[in-house]
């Protein structure tokens, strides 16, 4: 399954993508839209993730964005592992009442930590109530890719993503090793994260791999 991440576009274009792609992530901290428009986008999308990274000085607005996602039918809510305990508890309770799923995400834009640290991060996210754990790290060596992909093979419901050109193939191979889905960007937009592929390219690569290994994602 491929989730198309939508960022830094108008409301009308975001709505167009929501109709075009079967699974989308709305990066609400980057979209120039109102809370009401955000609710409309989730209503349009067949399957969606509500993501709103910290907005300096606008935590109240960020919380409203996350809550409207839950109320308007988002399938997943993404919260950083550094999120305050108060907000995490509040959002988690709302998520579970709505039968939405909670993604707890960890990002390291400098490096890929050692395996033991990655395992600790995973376990911490599970303790916080994560249904899916997202671990995205900058990749500088092939060993970094192997550590990330090993998480997909060893743990359930983990998205282990290598950021940067060298980490791109973790995005392609992850679902074949157990990741519930992977991310891509709209075909006519730039990546929303380093190493992302356009949707059509990702879909083509996964189709080719399925044919080679007779697998299903």
pLDDT tens, the chain, 217 aa long: 999 999 999 999 999 999 999 999 999 999 999 999 999 999 999 999 999 998 888 888 999 999 999 999 999 999 999 999 899 999 999 998 998 999 999 999 999 999 999 999 999 999 999 999 999 999 999 999 999 999 998 998 999 999 999 999 899 999 989 999 999 999 999 999 888 999 999 999 999 888 887 655 5
CB-based contact 131:156 (threshold 8 Å): no
- Is the Cβ–Cβ distance between 182 and 172 less than 8 Å? yes
Catalytic option among 96, 111, 115, 134:
134
Contact 24, 73 (CB under 8 A): no
Q: What is the CATH number of the domain that holds 150?
A: 3.20.20.70
115 flagged as catalytic? no
pLDDT of residue 56: 83
Tell me if residue 107 is catalytic.
yes
For the chain, the domain total comes to: 1
Q: Which residue in the list 67, 107, 124, 210 is annotated as catalytic?
A: 107
Instruction: Return d(Cα 160, Cα 148) in angstroms, integer.
Output: 5
Domain that holds residue 152: 2-213
In sequence order, which ranges of 72-141 are alpha helices (DSSP H)? 85-97, 115-127
**What confidence score (pLDDT) does residue 215 get?**
52
pLDDT at 26: 98
Per-residue pLDDT at 212 = 80
Closest CA to 131 of 74, 195, 169: 74
Residue 161's pLDDT is what?
Answer: 96
């Amino acid at each position: 399954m491929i989730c198309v991440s939508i960022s830094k576009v108008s409301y009308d274009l975001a709505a167009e993508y929501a109709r075009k792609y079967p699974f989308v992530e709305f990066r609400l901290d980057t979209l120039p839209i109102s809370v009401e428009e955000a609710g409309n986008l989730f209503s349009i999308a067949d399957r969606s993730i509500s993501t709103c990274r910290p907005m300096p000085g606008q935590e109240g607005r960020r919380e409203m964005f996350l809550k409207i996602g839950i109320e308007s039918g988002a399938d997943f809510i993404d919260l950083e592992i550094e999120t305050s305990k108060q907000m995490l508890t509040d959002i988690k309770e709302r998520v579970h009442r709505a039968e939405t799923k909670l993604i707890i995400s960890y990002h390291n834009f400098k490096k890929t930590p050692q395996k033991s640290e990655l395992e600790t991060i995973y376990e911490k996210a599970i303790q916080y109530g994560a249904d899916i754990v997202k671990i995205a790290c900058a990749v500088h060596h092939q060993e970094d890719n192997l550590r990330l992909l090993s998480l997909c093979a060893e743990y359930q419901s983990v998205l282990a993503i290598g950021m940067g050109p060298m980490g791109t193939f973790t995005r392609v191979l992850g679902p074949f090793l157990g990741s519930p889905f992977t991310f891509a960007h709209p075909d006519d937009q730039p990546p929303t994260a380093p190493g992302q592929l356009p949707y059509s390219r990702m879909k083509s690569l996964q189709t080719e791999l399925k044919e080679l290994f007779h697998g299903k994602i």
